[in-house]
Structure 1
Amino acid sequence: MDYSFFDFLTLIGSLGLFLYGMKIMSEGLQKIAGDKMRSILSAMTTNRFTGVLTGVLITALIQSSSATTVMVVSFVNAGLLSLAQSIGVIMGANVGTTVTAWIISLFGFKVDISAFAIPLIGLSIPLIFSEKSRRKSIGEFLLGFSFLFMGLAYLKDSVPDLQSNPQILSFLQNYTSMGYLSLLIFLGIGTILTVIVQSSSATVAITLIMCTKGWIPYDMAAAMILGENIGTTITANIAAIPANVSAKRAAIAHLMFNVFGVIWVMTLFYPFTRMVTWIVSSFGPGDPHQMSQFLANLDPRTISLITSNAELTDPKLVELQKQLLSLQVSVSYGLSLFHTMFNILNVSIMIWFVKFYVYVCSAVIKPKNVAEEEEFQLRYIPSGMLSTSELSLMQAKKEIAVYGDRTYRMLGMVKELFYEKNEDKFLKIYSRIEKYESISDRMEVEIANYLTFVAEGRLSSESKEEIRIMLRAVTEIESIADSCNNLARAIKRRNEGKGEFTESLNHNMDQMFAIVDQALQQMNVILHKPEAVHDDINVSYNVENEINNYRNQLKIKNMEDVNNKAYDYQVGVYYMDMVSECEKLGDYVLNVVQAVIEKKI
């Protein structure tokens, strides 16, 4: 066969252009509809039917079931959706993804949309360079749409001409005439192909091309599409590997839903495909099964002529070319309808078994008994696959709130350490504070790296500003943890130096700890709020002023007490070290609050 390595690279490049177009188009749509997606998901109820409709709508909007399911897994990980709610959304995502196949069928095979691709790119360029983020997003969508169909056109032209090489075709045909075993083989091929390509939309497009070119019969193509429905679940499962138990259960539910669906369709495969064929034949362009028979009756030269882009003059060849185009449309319609009906019927059946899915997933994925292990990993931010760029910010916000809670626990340990006289217990608490400080350093780096990674994606200007604010907040929270560790060291130095605080000094430190505790509590209240208001900062300013005033009072009083020999000078040094560190801690707390709230001024 005259098919060189250059032709193979052209094929891979065409697939790359298709995938890149899908990615750009999806990201553009996500930015246009990002806020709407957030509001839709935040308004989710326990109603499973609403969940399905939400999944359909979001996937139809962003043109990627993988993006939707990864987003759902991240929402479950962040505690925004329950497992039952997530299953409904995932079911809907499977229906929503069939829209892509219909777009390809309606435009990719019937209309030469690639002819309009270059003018569409020309239209998108001024929009991309526009200052308004919404226009940029529309420009990206048009650019992605153009690339997608240019890739599809190149893909159709760059696949090897198997019909002109019967020996290769016969090799392929060896696997198409073994009944159910053939179906299982092509089901496996569809699954593996989707796992490799990581896009069911791309593999559906490849399957459509393979079938319309006559490589494989219609039934084998249908089996491949079933396999692609299993393969697409791998993305969510990869995203859930480092996530919490609930997110892992949501990803497993997605896999179970598609596997169970494929099992029942495979048992009724031939009646099901006959029903789809009848619908396409009765109300559409014709019987998709006739494609294989039509090509089998033609010689390789005739096939080469009617599939070429050359203008034909022979009326017989022109008629055959028309027949071929009509059959290609019927095949693409048949496979798109098969894909859609499978997912709609599967959802219609499985929606009544949501509680069963929750029960099975909970039984399969069990939480770890060792609570300490949770301390060493981020709770909401996945360390594996990134969620959709705009929606990743919500996960980061949740993680920063957890970060704030951890520093508050550190302050509680410091207060406990302050009065601990038992040496073994003291060292145990001190080691725990040091461990928390180490965890805090790691959290700062991981959250900052995650935000930097998100910033590299396609974001609106508002989201970029949000990332800058969050990075500042993370740095300040790490400084709070450092202050807590410094307080623990000051207490240790006091104990090692045999410094004894008077009852008055203990009382003063209790007061200072109480005010700092109040400041940290208010900071965490603000961090946990979905949307903090400017009035929230007034409380933090008042507490910060109280800390500063109290520090000044204690400083003056300390000088008087040392002069009056109320306690040793060295004890006064230990004491003022702690007071000064508490004041610094208060400054860091206010910096966090200012970063979060004062962005709106």
Structure 2
Amino acid sequence: MDTIAFILKILGSLGVFLYGMKVMSEGIQRTAGDGMRKVMATMTHNRFAGIATGLITTGLIQSSSATTVMVVSFVNAGLLTLIESIGVIMGANLGTTLTAWIIAMIGKFSLSEIAIPIIGLGLPLFFIGKNRWKSFGEVLIGFGLLFYGLHLLKESVPDVKSMLSSTDAAVQEQARQIQTFVASLSGKGYVSILTFLMLGVILTLVVQSSSAAMAITVTLAIQGWIGFHESAAIVLGENIGTTVTAWLASIGTSVNAKRAARAHFLFNVIGVCWMLIAFYPFSQVVTWLGAQLPESFRGKSHESDIGFNLAIFHSLFNFTNILILVGFVNQLASLVTRWVKEPKIAPPKEHRLHFISQGMVDLGELNIPEAENATRELAGITKNMFQGYLEVFKNPAVDLSEEVKRLKALEDAADVLTHDITEYLVRTSAAEISPENARSVTRMLRIVSELEEISDAIYRLIQITQRKYTKGRAFGDEATASILAFAEKIMELIDLYSEVLIKGASEAQLRKAEEIEKTTDKLRKQYNKRAVKRMSETEDAVKTEMITIDMNNQFELIANYGLNVVQSAYYLVKHDEIPERAEGKSPASPE
């Protein structure tokens, strides 16, 4: 029963710690998510900037797994290159060492005395504050819970020395059993090191968080359950285990995203390999550095010496690994490129959106670039379809049945991608994102809806053109010229909304879109009147000119939907309000 109670206390302490980390990380995303996205996407132009970006990002959200999964997502979205991603991953490895330093403070401060006041500061902000202040309160609450979880973990794990000096014979026996078990695994040179390394890998896989695994390791070391060499070996294993999260997140993503995940794995494994060779000399250096810490930092009883030594070991290992491999980023990229090869026969491109999730920490704020990229792709499909329609219209004497099949496949792909983006954005908004990003998601949902309407209208144009050829209807020179002139204005609008997605349109671009839409409205009325006039000239012209009117009406529909896209893109960054949606004219209207 005591064993069950002990295990439940450990699990409960880890639960508070992990929940605190989750709350803090998501609060930081809501507070600075846009800034983090911009930094990640723009401040990684060289490997050193990438390292700094990874270091700062991981230091803030306290989760290297979340950072590396974010990197995989950005590579998949095309916002980061493989070379840039490797630099960020290096920095993330160094940033995660901050966790070990925080945990090492267990023996220096009374964490409960720190944690409760921090939660007290965050609580009123969380309940009373708005927007960023509310999110900042969430950060403080999460930070306090993280500290309190560490305090509970320390209290849950008994000190072996205290157990040995206990007057209770049963407690002494338990302490001796612990020492005997650890001793049976220790003292066998590299066999023992590899054993504890594997334990570190398994521990990280089980708890799905290198920070939680580090918390357990440092706490056990401070409480005397394991020695420095054993705990250092476990830390090395945790460095390998943490790469699995990004590896799993890369399943179903692009080739480059898979390569980024493999680069993370390779970087850490190479580091562990050279560290195993230099393990004992490196450990001596770490012990010497630990002894140089000032007495005021280490505490009177020195009970946290091993904790600080582990923090030094973790930091120095990752820093040295960066120094060794930072000059070989191109070679690492080349190696993973050979490892994950492009398929010899490229499969048909599937227009699907892959939702990437870290699992422990919700990446709602940082998932948005993936949806933005997919929205641009959807806009590209509509442009491709309209160009294909013009190709079919301009070549009535050429058999373009294969082109029509291709355009139908594009229309189907647009429907699938619209569904994927909509579902993706709904899942993103479910993560309690900031009000600003919530509004952005709403506008993106509108943009996606308008783009789907455009793809449907373009395919109706293709069907109308097919019907024209099937029925043997031939346009006269005037009708053909009017269709091409109308199509030119539509192409101008499609080019415009393709350009402004998704960064937002300028005032001039919005006015240009409104001008084009007004022009298309006039053209529809003008060309439809001409078509009605031509109907009266011959009896055979009626059915032909009805096709002309149908095309003109579809053009006007596309113009209305296109204006809605530009308006939404403009208000995405300029204002809070979106003007009333411009509805399309009825396709049956000959006006």
Query: Given the alignment of the two structures, is residue 482 of structure 1 paired with residue 492 of structure 2, yes or no?
Result: no
Deviations 1:180-234 (A, max 9, x none): 1111111111112212322211110010112223222221110010111111112
Distance 1:376 1:58 in 2: 31
Compared with structure 1, are the counterparts of its residues 537 and 567 closer, same or farther at alpha carbon in structure 2 (3 Å cutoff)? farther
- TM-score normalised per structure 2: 0.89
The answer to whether the Cα contact below 8 Å between 1:239 and 1:382 also exists between their aligned partners in 2 is no
How far apart in 1 are the matches of 2:539 and 2:43? Answer: 64
Quote the residue 2:135 is aligned against.
Answer: 137
The structure 2 residue matched to 1:190, chosen from 195, 200, 212, is 200
User: How far apart in 2 are the matches of 1:452 and 1:480?
Assistant: 22
- Name which of 463, 466, 477 aligns with 2:437: 463
Extract unaligned runs of 5+ from structure 2: 164-170, 576-591
1:458 maps to a residue whose letter is E
SS at 1:174 equivalent = helix
Note the 1:433-452 alignment, pairs <5 A: 433-452=407-426
Matched, 1:585 2:570: no
1:431 aligns with 2:405: yes
Q: Are the aligned partners of 1:242 and 1:383 in contact in 2 as well (CA < 8 Å)? A: no
The residue that corresponds to 1:67 in the other structure is: 66
Task: Describe the SS at the equivalent of 2:507.
Answer: coil
Of 231, 239, 244, the residue aligned with 2:254 is 244
Please name the residue that 1:546 is paired with: 519
Q: In structure 1, how many angstroms separate the alpha carbons of the residues matched to 2:388 and 2:519?
A: 23
Choose from 564, 570, 573 the match for 2:546: 573
Aligned length: 559
My pick for the range that moved more, 83-92 or 264-273, is 83-92
TM-score scaled by length of structure 1: 0.87
* Structure 1 counterpart of 2:485, from 511, 515, 525: 511
- Displacement of 1:586: 1.1
How far, CA to CA, are the matches of 1:357 and 1:478 in structure 2? 41
Distance in 2 between the 1:462 and 1:373 partners? 37
Pick from 96, 116, 119 the counterpart of residue 118 of structure 1: 116
Q: Quote the offset at 1:349 in angstroms.
A: 0.9
Deviation at 1:266, TM superposition (A): 0.5
Structure 1 residues 4-403: aligned runs within 5 Å: 4=4, 6-44=5-43, 46-106=45-105, 108-159=106-157, 164=171, 165=174, 166-167=176-177, 169-283=179-293, 326-327=302-303, 329-371=304-346, 373-378=348-353, 382=355, 385=358, 388-403=363-378
Alpha-carbon distance between aligned partners in 1 of 2:405 and 2:534, rounded to the nearest angstrom = 33
Match among 412, 415, 434 for residue 390 of structure 2: 415
Moved more, 584-593 or 113-122: 113-122
Aligned to 1:305: none
Question: Is the deviation greater in 48-57 or in 464-473?
Answer: 48-57
Deviation digits for residues 357-386 of structure 1 (CA, Å, limit 9, x no counterpart):
1211222122234455334334xx545658
Distance 1:369 1:579 in 2: 45
Q: What displacement does 1:282 show?
A: 4.0
**CA 526–372 in structure 1, closer or farther in 2 if over 3 Å, else same:** farther
Give the Å deviation of 1:540: 1.0
Partner SS state of residue 128, structure 2: coil
Q: State the one-letter code of the partner of 2:379.
A: G
- CA displacement, residues 336-369 of structure 1 (integer Å, 9 cap, x when unaligned): 1110110111111111111211211222122234
CA distance in 1, matches of 2:529, 2:177: 97
Distance in structure 2 (CA, Å) of the matches to 1:39 and 1:443: 25
1-structure distance, mates of 2:523, 2:539 = 20
Q: Secondary structure at the match of 1:132?
A: coil
Match of 2:470 among 496, 503, 508: 496
- Say if 2:504 and 2:569, in contact at 8 Å, map to a contact too: no
Q: Which residue, 488, 501, 522 being the options, matches 1:527?
A: 501
Amino acid at match of 2:92: A
Greater Cα offset, 95-104 or 170-179: 170-179
| Contact persistence 2:66–2:358 (CA under 8 A) | no
| Percent identity (aligned) | 38
Structure 1 distance, partners of 2:357, 2:211, is 22
Deviation at 1:409, TM superposition (A): 0.3
- Change in Cα spacing, 1:359 to 1:416, as seen in structure 2 (3 Å) is same
1:83 and 1:358 in contact (8 A); partners too: yes
User: 1:285, CA displacement in angstroms?
Assistant: 6.0
CA distance in structure 2 between the aligned counterparts of 1:547 and 1:167, rounded to whole angstroms: 85
State the alpha-carbon separation in 1 of the partners of residues 450 and 346 from structure 2: 27
Shift of 1:245: 2.1
Partner of 1:306: none
Cα distance in 1 for partners of 2:73, 2:7 equals 37
Partner Cα distance (1:363, 1:574) in 2: 55
In structure 1, stretches of 5+ residues that fail to align are: 289-321
Alpha-carbon distance in structure 1 between the residues aligned to 2:539 and 2:350: 43
Asked whether the equivalents of residues 69 and 356 of structure 2 are also in contact (C-alpha less than 8 Å), the reply is no
Aligned partners of 1:496 and 1:383: how far apart in 2?
46
Q: Which AA in structure 1 matches 2:130?
A: K
C-alpha separation in 1, matches of 2:337 and 2:328 = 14
Give a deviation string over 1:37-72, Cα, whole Å, max 9, x none. Answer: 344334435432232222222222222212222222
1:284 Cα offset (Å):
5.4
Residue 477 of structure 1: CA displacement?
A: 0.4
Which amino acid counterpart does residue 361 of structure 1 have in structure 2? Answer: V
Report SS of the residue matched to 1:458: coil
Moved more, 32-41 or 17-26: 32-41
Q: Paired residue for 2:167?
A: none
Query: SS where residue 264 of structure 1 aligns?
Result: helix
Aligned-residue RMSD, C-alpha: 2.4
CA contact (8 A) 1:561 1:567 kept: no
Q: Would you say 1:405 and 2:380 are equivalent positions?
A: yes
Q: 2:582 maps to which residue?
A: none
TM-superposed deviation, 1:561:
0.5
Q: Aligned equivalents of 2:485 and 2:347: distance in 1? A: 32
Q: What is the Cα deviation at residue 7 of structure 1?
A: 4.3
Matched-pair contact (CA < 8 Å) for 1:46–1:84: no
Task: Tell which deviates more after alignment, 133-142 or 64-73.
Answer: 64-73
SS in 1 for 2:348: helix
